[in-house]
Chains A and B, each alone.
Chain A
């Protein structure tokens, strides 16, 4: 009997979340030793919210995606790796026992593209912040020049 993949995910939610969190955490410089840091707990929390949004289409995924990408966008992790988190999840879901009547691929690809947008937005904010900081530092000089 085939079932919806969302249902299979929900049945295995706890183990899946643990496995996913461990894999994402391994991308931090300290790997498993990063546990106990605030960034690790924040990632854990955001992944939890994101998993809810992955399976429940009535929930807004934009907010959890914005939050997790905001954390990842400034870590010492290459973008390709940061943005692989949803592919990681896809592979984990596909390994779960039970046959699905439709693949989870579409949903996870859709969310990956959303995550890409969001990640880029955060990087753009960083660029803007750098630019503004330069201007703030030269505030009085610029005022004279622009007067």
Chain B
């Protein structure tokens, strides 16, 4: 079929030569750019999934191996598995096909990825990351193959290509920053998702992703905490709240007929500093007398299935609606998380919905209809709280956070995955007095990733995480120097887990907080005792024991 808009081969060649980024033109001593060596060393690879984890999940090729092994023990016929897998996905996912075909090599994305900025490795330029797979696609799948082969780089699939994919598609946190700058709207994050799916078909994987997936699959949450322990953890936080505030909050579990089901990432229930954010939620719900319940089965908002395969994401997500139906709630309220919100906002409604058994969410306190959540029936806590504050429903004393000088880190998935920028800032500004923005090109839709997202938060990967997080850390260093900022506030559980490490390395002294932890500090609870400590039991400034002007 002829297309008058399509470029002729010589035009295409010329255009390619003119536009491709420098590395694609570079004379690398007669080699192609992808011949730059890939070497797995301590700190640049994540441990592969343990055989029992793969067996649990019925995933391919369980075995003991390491990225540093020469032979990765790929299954017989692995080339065909990848080839067929790619063919199938090119058919099923239109975006994948479009992204394979439509890059014009303008280079606009080249210096936008935090992994390129933090490592200087050209294969971390989003355009080259995609070329790693595009070069195989071109060789095997396009009619352009013959035209393009001579100059644009196409290559056959070898074990070395697989090694390279493993290296670089696990040095992409699926953050989508590059897509903001791409004139063609190419989302490298989606390419990464596809390649990770393909790699899982031949048992090339990451334990830090698949172990939580297996745990979620079995018990509902990442650590595999069983219902009684899950409940015990929360009740022990209830005791802590009482120690600090004198107020006994009363969460309920698996209560049928509650109006709202509250789901948050399980990091808020077992990890430091997530648990302080959990304490903030519990105080808030008590403050407004919310009729809510927590499920010990849908005990995880996070969904590492998203970093594994579409099918796994769907399976793990299904428990949210299942549980909402079983408990007969009206709608779901979701806690502070990054990727959970990308799954909920972009996929849940069609993937596991429509959830017609739920009602369009309405705040029982203010009467506000959350029309944007009409299809998913799930509301983001920052939006919920912002609405409460806007309607004057919360008694707040922002002075209680005067011991903190804050800045706000937009989590990639909430910012670029659902477009939420204002609500958390609105809340933050109402609950504390000192807030400074990081530079413009590092926040909101241009936010820099923590460097550890999409399941790369493994301890053994620490060196690469420190490199990938360098741009974010530099932006924090900027406000630290300029405004003495010492508190990095975020609305994502992976951030709460990973940013403390990043700050300790690059900006020692800067601590990481969840937004609702600060809400919890600021809430004036009816009948509370004199508050002198924040939820971490650190002294508040100006609220000392003998200080009476509160």
What CA separation (Å) do A33 and B23 show in the bound complex? 7
What CA separation (Å) do A49 and B471 show in the bound complex? 20
Instruction: Check A140–B269 contact: CB distance below 8 A.
Output: yes
Give the distance to chain B from A56, nearest Cβ to Cβ, in Å.
23
Which stretch from A8-16, A37-45, A88-96, A101-109 is at the chain B interface? A37-45
What CA separation (Å) do A132 and B470 show in the bound complex? 20
Instruction: Check B270–A141 contact: CB distance below 8 A.
Output: yes
What CA separation (Å) do A18 and B118 show in the bound complex? 21
Proximity bits, B112-136, A CB within 8 Å = 1, else 0: 0000111111110000000000000
Instruction: Check A30–B500 contact: CB distance below 8 A.
Output: no
With A136-B272, A139-B275, A140-B270 known as contacts, the answer to whether A129 contacts B116 (CB < 8 A) is no
What CA separation (Å) do A126 and B22 show in the bound complex? 34
A39 neighbours in B (Cβ, 8 Å): 117-120, 467, 470
Instruction: Check B119–A29 contact: CB distance below 8 A.
Output: yes
Asked if A63 is an interface residue, CB under 8 A from chain B, the answer is no
What CA separation (Å) do A138 and B266 show in the bound complex? 12
Chain A residues engaging chain B, CB cutoff 8 angstroms: 25, 28-30, 33-34, 36-40, 42, 70, 74-76, 122, 125-126, 129-130, 132-141, 143-144
What CA separation (Å) do A98 and B459 show in the bound complex? 51
Give the distance to chain A from B525, nearest Cβ to Cβ, in Å.
23
Which 5 residue pairs across A and B have the least CB separation, nearest first?
A34-B120, A139-B272, A38-B117, A37-B120, A28-B120
What CA separation (Å) do A135 and B497 show in the bound complex? 11
What CA separation (Å) do A147 and B528 show in the bound complex? 26
What CA separation (Å) do A33 and B125 show in the bound complex? 11
B116 neighbours in A (Cβ, 8 Å): 37
What CA separation (Å) do A29 and B120 show in the bound complex? 7
What CA separation (Å) do A37 and B501 show in the bound complex? 22
Task: Name which of A40, A126, A132 has the most chain B CB atoms within 10 A of its CB.
Answer: A126
Interface size of B by CB at 8 A reads 42
Instruction: Check A40–B120 contact: CB distance below 8 A.
Output: yes
Give the distance to chain B from A111, nearest Cβ to Cβ, in Å.
23
A126 neighbours in B (Cβ, 8 Å): 462-463, 466, 505
In chain B, residues 229-248, which have Cβ atoms closer than 8 Å to a Cβ of chain A?
232-233, 236
Task: Name which of B43, B232, B459 has the most chain A CB atoms within 10 A of its CB.
Answer: B459
A136 neighbours in B (Cβ, 8 Å): 271-273, 497, 500
B270 neighbours in A (Cβ, 8 Å): 137-141
What CA separation (Å) do A34 and B459 show in the bound complex? 26
What CA separation (Å) do A19 and B92 show in the bound complex? 52
Q: Please name 16 pairs of A and B residues whose Cβ atoms are closer than 8 Å in the assembled complex, sorted by A.
A: A28-B119, A28-B120, A29-B120, A29-B123, A30-B123, A33-B26, A34-B122, A37-B117, A38-B117, A39-B119, A39-B467, A40-B120, A74-B467, A76-B121, A126-B505, A139-B275
Instruction: Check B275–A37 contact: CB distance below 8 A.
Output: no
A36 neighbours in B (Cβ, 8 Å): 110-111
Give the distance to chain A from B234, nearest Cβ to Cβ, in Å.
9
With A76-B41, A136-B272, A140-B275 known as contacts, the answer to whether A37 contacts B505 (CB < 8 A) is no
Residue of A nearest to B460 (CB): A130
Residue of B nearest to A135 (CB): B272
Instruction: Check B459–A76 contact: CB distance below 8 A.
Output: no
Asked if B36 is an interface residue, CB under 8 A from chain A, the answer is yes
Proximity bits, B261-294, A CB within 8 Å = 1, else 0: 0000000011111010000000000000000000
Query: From DSSP, what is the main secondary structure of chain A's interface residues?
Result: helix
What CA separation (Å) do A138 and B274 show in the bound complex? 11
Instruction: Check A30–B120 contact: CB distance below 8 A.
Output: yes
What CA separation (Å) do A25 and B472 show in the bound complex? 22
Give the distance to chain B from A11, nearest Cβ to Cβ, in Å.
31
Give the distance to chain B from A19, nearest Cβ to Cβ, in Å.
18
In chain B, residues 84-128, which have Cβ atoms closer than 8 Å to a Cβ of chain A?
110-111, 116-123
Give the distance to chain A from B168, nearest Cβ to Cβ, in Å.
11
Instruction: Check A133–B501 contact: CB distance below 8 A.
Output: yes
With A76-B44, A125-B505 known as contacts, the answer to whether A34 contacts B467 (CB < 8 A) is no
What CA separation (Å) do A141 and B272 show in the bound complex? 11
A129 neighbours in B (Cβ, 8 Å): 462, 501, 504-505
Give the distance to chain A from B475, nearest Cβ to Cβ, in Å.
10
What CA separation (Å) do A140 and B121 show in the bound complex? 39
Instruction: Check B119–A37 contact: CB distance below 8 A.
Output: yes
What CA separation (Å) do A141 and B467 show in the bound complex? 30
Give the distance to chain A from B224, nearest Cβ to Cβ, in Å.
11
Asked if B474 is an interface residue, CB under 8 A from chain A, the answer is yes
Give the distance to chain B from A24, nearest Cβ to Cβ, in Å.
11
A74 neighbours in B (Cβ, 8 Å): 43, 462-463, 466-467, 505
B506 neighbours in A (Cβ, 8 Å): 70
If A136-B271, A141-B270 are given as contacts, then 6 extra A-B residue pairs at C-beta distance below 8 Å, sorted by A number, are: A33-B22, A37-B118, A38-B471, A39-B470, A133-B500, A136-B272
A139 neighbours in B (Cβ, 8 Å): 270-272, 275
What CA separation (Å) do A135 and B270 show in the bound complex? 11
Give the distance to chain B from A128, nearest Cβ to Cβ, in Å.
8
Instruction: Check B459–A143 contact: CB distance below 8 A.
Output: no
Instruction: Check A76–B272 contact: CB distance below 8 A.
Output: no
Residue of B nearest to A147 (CB): B236
B23 neighbours in A (Cβ, 8 Å): 30, 33
Contact of B474 among A38, A40, A125 (CB under 8 A): A38
Give the distance to chain B from A18, nearest Cβ to Cβ, in Å.
17
Instruction: Check A38–B470 contact: CB distance below 8 A.
Output: yes
B121 neighbours in A (Cβ, 8 Å): 28-30, 34, 76
Residue of B nearest to A125 (CB): B505
Instruction: Check A140–B110 contact: CB distance below 8 A.
Output: no
B122 neighbours in A (Cβ, 8 Å): 29-30, 33-34
